[in-house]
Amino acid sequence: MEGAVGAVGDLDVVACSILATTLKESFQSPECRRLVGTFVPVALAVAVSHKLGIGFEGDILVSIFRSSIQLVGLGYALKFIFEGEKIYMCSFAILFMILVSGHTAGKRSKELPKSRMVATLSLAVGAAGTLALMLLLRVYEFKARYIVPTAGYVIGNSMSIVGTTLERLRHDIYVHQGQIELALALGATPAQAVHPYIRRAILQGMGPIVDSLKTVGLVSMPGSMTGMLMGGSSPLEAVQMQIQVLYMLLGASALSCLFACSLGWRVLFSKNFQLQFDDTRVLS
């Protein structure tokens, strides 16, 4: 019995020794040291929050933990998808991104009826339309390595644009119910009555991306271009890829905004073309 216990103890010592050696070798690698170094700004943010009594330390640490887990999971998922090169894998990944982003964008305008459905369909139309166009024009090869990251970039950025557009549309129609009902009484169709507010909503949603295009390369350097440069790509190659992604994002955002407004105003009208708002909902 004592011999068995001693053997188990020896195994524990050996296992701990192997683990310690592995960790030591890992921390000696340049990649690991660089990764650990990135946590210094995190510590700085936590220190500032604590010093000023903001009480944001917990949220910062939770967000760092979640983002780290999610990014590591994403890395393994992309590795699996890229190695498989199966159409159904790409489709599932894109569908998952659309569902999550649609849910998030819809939450921003939860006072709008069926907001999550409207946001999800709008993002799907924008992403699918632009991806299909880029593939037909042979801008991208039909490979998971190009399709999935590009779709993720486009859907992720379109998410906030669609959320902003829907919220502005709902807000303006709510505020101007009297004018809309007067226009309807004078013979205007619902589409004609809400047209000015659709224009405002699209301008609100598309404004930030148009402004960013005006200053890109002068004030800011996009993340994907930065990543390619740090990965060793030539500046001109990085610029070419960034232009493709940015212009694709512009087209996808325009399609998503247009579709979101087209569906958004319809869910606010009854079958008898009457505005239907729940007065118990809070006007933001």
Please state whether the predicted TM-score (pTM) of the whole model is above 0.85: no
| Paired strand residues for 127 | none
Q: Is residue 12 scored above 60 in pLDDT?
A: no
% of the chain with per-residue pLDDT over 90:
20
User: Running DSSP on this structure, what letter comes out for residue 283?
Assistant: P
Specify the 3-state DSSP secondary structure of 272.
coil
Confidence (pLDDT) at 67: 86
Phi, psi of 234 (to 5 degrees): -70, 150
Rounded CA-CA distance 202/196 in Å is 10
pLDDT one-digit tens code per residue, 113-172: 888 999 999 999 999 999 888 888 888 888 888 888 888 888 988 999 999 999 999 999
CATH code, 86-284: 1.20.1640
Tokens 């590591």 sit at which residue? 72
| Paired strand residues for 216 | 220
pLDDT one-digit tens code per residue, 259-276: 999 998 888 887 777 777
Q: Give the dihedral of Cα atoms 181, 182, 184, 188; nearest 10 deg.
A: -140
Rounded CA-CA distance 156/123 in Å is 9
User: Running DSSP on this structure, what letter comes out for residue 90?
Assistant: H
Rounded CA-CA distance 273/223 in Å is 46
Q: Which sign, positive or negative, has the C-alpha torsion 92, 94, 97, 103?
A: negative
